[in-house]
Chain A
Amino acid sequence: MEQKLIQGSKQFLNALGEVDQKLELLQSHILDMRVSCDEAEAQLKLTNDASKSLLERAGSLREQRQEVEEKKSIVTLFLARFTLNEEDIVALTSRDVPVGKLFFEAMDKTEQIRRDCRVLMAGEDGPTKAGLDIMASTSSYLEQGFEKISRWCTNEFRELGRETIIDVTPTLQEAIKRLRSRPELLTEVLSMLSQIRQATLLSSFITALTRGGPSGLPRPIELHAHDPMRYIGDMLAWVHQTIAAEREFLEGLFGLKSDGRMVGSIRRFDYRGEEEEWMQELLDLAVGKLCSPLKARVLQTVRSQESSIVSYKIANLLQFYMVTMHRTIGEKAIVSETLKETTEVAYKVFHDAVDAQGRSLMRVPLDPDDPSLTPPPPILEHAQILREIMTVYHSSMLGDESNVGQATGFQDISNAMVDPAIEMCITSSAQKKQIRPKWDQSVFILNCLCYLQDTLDIYPFTSGKKEHVRSVIQERIALLIQEHFADLLTKAGLQALYQTCEACPVDEPLSHAPGAQPPEVKVALQKFSAWLSSPEVVQSARLSHLTAQRLHAQVHQAALGRLAKAYRRICDEVRNPKNRYEAGSTLLGSERPFGQAHLLWQIFGLHEDAGDDDGDQ
């Protein structure tokens, strides 16, 4: 049993020893493993350390790549925004791309780039190199673009400028608008346009003057050179119409909407935009070129007129156009200046003609064999010319003149026409009177003056001259009243008696004076009484030759009034005891009107006061 136990134990021991061995093996394995593990771990750690920097590097690379990507897109965007692409450059510089939409877009883009770039460079860091580069390159392209526009415009004008009327295309309008930012190019282009327009309008004008339309219609203006009004009118109308068309062309060129104003109506010159200045200058130069042929022809026509009326019509026509031009293109325009000069010359020619007319009138002597007292033919002809001149003056009114202005405007003409006529009537009639003493000069002068007054009476603007003529007439009436009174006094037989009354010295009785002694007084009163029954009391044969009937009455009544006063004076003197008439009242009472002056007033049909007034005048 023991044995068995020992054997068993032995076996157990063996088995355990085996186990122990195995365990030991295992342990050594484990140890090995551990070492390996440690190694591996160390290795791992090492590796780990090593790869960490790699990872970091990879990460940073990735970041860098991202940054670069971003930068790249920014740069692309930047480049797209700040540089011109190939197409743009071609559009700007090449002859192959026409000036048009593409070209203008490229221009716009270039300018946008420059604007943006300027904003960028205005930052704190100051101008960058890229910025400067961009500015430099775009600047060159932009200038090429402007050069291209200006060359194109020059070409365009060279082609189109020869047409009489030009239609402005939107492209041309746009081109000019863009050139506004390059004044030197614009000036160059417009100067060329101006020269072409000057030549074109001048040659059209000459064609219209000398050749007319094709196949002769409309007829050349010069065909009517014999009709001065039509000739000058047609030329000026042509110029006026050309101005309107040219102005429309320029408004189109500068893209100005017409202000809806009618040409010919008053233009306000207070607003002066740059375009407006350009337009005025171009218009002025283009149309100004027409002045020299226009002026030569107008002046030639003006100077070759013989009739003062035609001269006057021409002067008025020129003035009408001068006013029209002042209102449409201003007073400073060359055409306006030329019209002003020619108008002045035309008026000078007219005034000279009128002066000559006046002088020649004064040289005409009156026919000494002609007994008539009516205005003579030279005066009638002269008045007819005056009448026609007045009609022309009246029709030249624009309707906006004041009455005073109208009268002032006519003053020179009326002086030049009427004064010589008045003088001629007076001086020539004095000469005639010397040759033909019985001829009634006073009535003749009054008849002539009244005729002139009636001639002036047609229009209100002659009021100043009419007043003058009226005052001359009044002087002449006063003289005639004096003459007529003396006539009446003689015819009535009171002349000697009245003169003695007037001349008698105070200290001597009148009845002692020769010519006023009682028998002489009696004879005079008898004669006066007889005269009172004659028709002369009612109407004077002499005054019946006055063409103005109211003057007849006026003069006659005034003279009668004086006669009545003379009679009263005589009565007073005869009744006055100082004059020592015996029975003075009886002497007076023996003949009509019986020493009663108021009866005489009644016979004459006058009021005493009125008679006084007229007599005093």
Chain B
Amino acid sequence: MPIDDYNTEATELVETYDFLMKYIVIGEAATGKSCLLHHFTHNSFKDHSQHTIGVEFSSRLVKLGEKRIKLQLWDTAGQERFRSVTRSYYRGAAGAILVYDITNRESFKNLSRWLADARALASPHLVCVLVGNKSDKEEEREVEWSEASRWAAENGECLHFLEASSLTGDNVEAPFLLAARAILLSIESGILDPEKAGSGVSYGDRALRRVNSSSRLSFGSFSGSRRKKGTLKLKVQNWVPGTRCC
């Protein structure tokens, strides 16, 4: 997977962005969801991680081509007893990172239920990425790559699959970027409208400013402009730098 093309950057001080996307991280307990997220946001392994209680939140800015995207990440508890609480956070998510543990077949068995739940409750154009975590523990593997890959292929178009390790950091950014790219493509092709509440995506100031100066959105590396005209009705009046102060 050509992840290297994405050119990720560390979070900068001034965090303006083109798009804001809401993600949920879901899956059985003890599959390493919080660690994966921690590695993604802090670039280090989270040692002595406790069970997540309910839900926790963090965010990170990533760069995808020319686009700066702010990811709002909701980390959910995997334990059954929190299910009724965590399900409420699926509402209006644009992306879901579905995590299982490659050394624990039990965590793989219920994926259909997790996926169905997410698709029923999140945004209608939810992009899912299946992540087989703990890929560093090859000797304890219980779920083969090919099996998971096949399962992903059988379970819908919007489902990508890869394996990662929140211990070594291997492939930790890829699922988040894959989802972001898929969502950007949806926006570009007009399937997804960030202007609509509940899509899980909204425009940032940066995108609006660019719209004002060039009166069209260009998508950097995705600039094959397949977007239908008029699908993006931007509130240009919201950003007119300086012309209306005082």
Contact = CB atoms under 8 A, between A and B. Distances in A.
A236 to B, nearest CB: 7
A398 B246 contact: no
A531 interface: no
A218 B57 contact: no
Interface string B12-30: 0111110010000000000
A366 interface: no
A207 B197 CA distance: 10
B138 to A, nearest CB: 30
A238 B74 CA distance: 12
B202 A165 contact: yes
B16 A170 contact: yes
A399 B77 CA distance: 13
A320 B245 contact: no
A265 B27 CA distance: 20
Range class of the B interface residue count: 35 or more
B198 A212 contact: yes
Given A148-B245, A217-B123, A248-B59, A169 B205 contact: yes
Interface of A: 94-95, 97-100, 148, 151-152, 155, 159-160, 163-165, 167-171, 173, 204, 207, 212-215, 217-218, 229-230, 233-234, 236-238, 240-241, 244-245, 248, 252, 257-258, 260, 262-265, 317, 320, 324, 395-396, 398-399
B169 interface: no
13 contacts: A95-B246, A98-B241, A170-B16, A204-B197, A214-B197, A218-B123, A229-B84, A233-B84, A258-B59, A262-B58, A264-B55, A265-B56, A399-B53
Contact of A152 (B84, B123, B246): B246
B89 A241 contact: yes
Contacts of B134: none
Contacts of A159: 237-238
A478 to B, nearest CB: 42
B72 A245 contact: yes
Given A97-B242, A155-B245, A395 B81 contact: yes
Contacts, number: 125
B127 to A, nearest CB: 15
Instruction: Give the most central of B15, B74, B196: most A CB within 10 Å.
Output: B15
B91 to A, nearest CB: 5
Contacts of A164: 197, 202
B55 A234 contact: no
Interface string B89-104: 1011000000000000
**4 closest cross-chain pairs (CB), A and B:** A98-B242, A213-B198, A237-B88, A263-B57
B51 A233 contact: no
A233 to B, nearest CB: 4
Contacts of B88: 230, 233-234, 236-238
Contacts of A230: 84, 87-88
B42 interface: yes
A167 B58 contact: no
A214 B196 contact: yes
A265 B92 CA distance: 23
B88 to A, nearest CB: 3
A152 B245 contact: yes
A320 to B, nearest CB: 6
A489 B117 CA distance: 69
Q: Looking at B91, B121, B206, which has the most chain A CB atoms within 10 Å of its CB?
A: B91
Interface string B47-73: 000110111111100000000001010
A263 B72 CA distance: 12
Interface string B116-154: 000001111000000000000000000000000000000
A238 B91 contact: yes
B170 to A, nearest CB: 22
A252 B85 CA distance: 29
Contacts of B121: 218
Interface string B22-42: 000000000000000000011
A151 B84 contact: no
Nearest to B20: A165
Contact of A264 (B15, B54, B123, B196): B54
B20 A241 contact: no
B226 to A, nearest CB: 23
A165 B205 CA distance: 10
Nearest to B22: A241
Nearest to B242: A98
Contacts of B204: 167
B199 interface: yes
B28 to A, nearest CB: 16
A63 to B, nearest CB: 51
Contacts of A244: 57, 72
A155 B41 CA distance: 34
Given A98-B241, A160-B238, A213 B92 contact: yes
A489 B56 CA distance: 70
B84 A218 contact: no
B54 A99 contact: no
